[in-house]
Amino acid sequence: MQDTVLPSDLSFFSTLAASGSLSAAARELGLTAAAVSKHLTQMESRAGVPLVNRTTRRMMLTPEGELYLEHARRILDEINELSELLGSAKKRPEGLLRVNATLGFGRSHVAPAISKFVAAYPQVSVQLQLSVTPPPLTDDAFDVCIRFGEPPDTRVVARRLAPNRRVLCATPAYLARRGTPITPHDLAKHNCIGIRQGDEAYGVWRLTTGSGAARKTETVKIRGNLTTNDGEIAVKWALDDHGILLRAEWDIKQYLQDGKLVQVLPHCETPNADIFAVYSQRHQMSNRIRAFVDFIAEELAPATQ
């Protein structure tokens, strides 16, 4: 009886699905596009159903392909975990580690930390993907996701890596020209630089003032002529004297220290933006994931002090 699934098919199909196209998968696997297409055709012949719908520009998984991918990734993860559990507790981490992070923070902090991590643990291969919108918390496409804010989903493990807060800021030149806001509602009179990222509400800033019984949160609808989905661009616009920006402190700390930006409404609190490493509960025993999370927590500590 012919086997429906071969062990080699699992990692092949996982890479194919993550790549998004036959040509991208070929580059990732070090094969020709024709070889990738042939392997996929053989898999579909063994399975007896189509796994991928191909078009000239992209490919999409069929329902059977989605089912195949879900099980393939779970089996590959379990094989890696079994290998680690059978080894010594002191065994150095090894294997593939898939990491996701946001664009700006990924470039400036996660990527440099990964560079140091693979130097310390050369047996670990890391795939880093940066995205504007974080993937779903239950998506098995990544082993670790670096995110802002603690996720409410109890099906995942969230370890706090570093404190982080959002700060309202602008250049001294802008404030000299337009005036300095005194209350949250004064922001409505200013040009505010908007950032569209993830699931956060766009065009609305929530600011909390007071303490105890007098503590209250105000929702401010902002206006402005500049909007982007890239935080680095938004910071550059603020530095060019275009308006007031709400940005994570890690991204503007150096500019606050050298006076290029100054904090606006310092008595107002903004929503929490602490940095977390998020991973599946079934991955928490993984040697390579524990090592990576411990490592990046140490790397981020000096940057947030």
pLDDT tens digits, one per residue of 138-164? 667 788 999 888 776 666 788 999 888
Please give the backbone phi and psi of residue 32, each rounded to the nearest 5 degrees, phi first: -85, 160
For residue 285, the tally of other CB atoms under 10 A from its CB is 11
Contact between 140 and 74 (Cβ < 8 Å):
yes
pLDDT greater at residue 31 or residue 140? 31
Per mean pLDDT, which range of 6-10, 61-65, 149-153, 232-236 is the poorest?
149-153
Report how far residue 237's alpha carbon sits from residue 245's, in angstroms, rounded to the nearest whole number: 9
Contact between 163 and 274 (Cβ < 8 Å):
yes
Residues 6+ apart with CB under 8 A from 265: 168, 181, 182, 183, 184, 187, 207
Range 229-243 average pLDDT: 93
pLDDT greater at residue 204 or residue 198? 204
For residue 27, the Cα-to-chain-centroid distance in whole angstroms is 24
Q: For residue 22, is pLDDT > 60?
A: yes
- Per-residue pLDDT tens for 243-290? 999 998 888 989 999 999 999 999 998 887 889 998 876 655 578 888
Q: For residue 236, is pLDDT > 90?
A: yes
Q: For residue 293, is pLDDT > 90?
A: yes
pLDDT of residue 97: 92
* Sequence letter at residue 247: R
